[in-house]
């Protein structure tokens, strides 16, 4: 009987360990997703302002972190470059405003309110990945 009871305890402990391991990885998954949803300003030249999620515009600098909802505004004579988590980038010319709409591993989107921008895309993370740029007059998408 003692052997059977010790096996039952061992099996119970194994099941608990597996449940804890699987549970902790599920809890860590949102953190992993959050890490890939961060992008940075890698070039700031001249007057460039940032608004975090609709707040007032303030000055920005190289290395500032961008998240979904942020707006970047390059003023007259200004320029900025956003480098996304996957290595893709977008360069904003002078007198340009862009809202970072979505930053997910499979869905990155930006809305360019006015101005000019140049996009350089790397290979997307998966076949279902998508990058989208919307303007008042058009939409451009890259898939796969």
- Count how many domains the chain has: 2
Q: What CATH number corresponds to the domain at position 121? A: 2.60.120
Give the predicted TM-score (pTM) of the model. 0.70
* pLDDT tens by residue, 85-135: 878 889 999 999 999 988 877 778 899 999 999 988 876 556 667 788 888
Helix (H, G, I), strand (E, B) or coil at 75: coil
* pLDDT tens by residue, 19-62: 555 444 434 444 444 445 678 999 899 999 999 988 999 999 99
Domain ranges, residue 23: 1-36
102 and 62 in a single domain? The answer is yes
């Amino acid at each position: 009987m003692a052997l059977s009871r010790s096996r039952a305890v061992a099996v119970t402990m194994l099941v608990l360990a597996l449940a804890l391991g699987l549970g902790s990885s599920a809890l860590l998954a949102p953190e992993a997703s959050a890490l890939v949803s961060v992008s940075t300003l890698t070039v700031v030249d001249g007057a460039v302002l940032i608004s975090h999620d609709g707040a007032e515009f303030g000055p920005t600098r190289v290395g500032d972190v961008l998240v979904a909802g942020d707006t970047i505004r390059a003023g007259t004579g200004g320029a900025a470059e956003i480098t996304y988590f996957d290595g893709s980038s977008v360069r904003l010319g002078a007198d340009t405003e862009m809202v970072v709409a979505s930053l997910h591993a499979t869905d990155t989107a930006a809305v360019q309110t006015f101005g000019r921008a140049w996009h350089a895309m790397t290979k997307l993370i998966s076949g279902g990945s998508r990058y989208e740029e919307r303007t008042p007059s058009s939409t451009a998408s890259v898939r796969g």
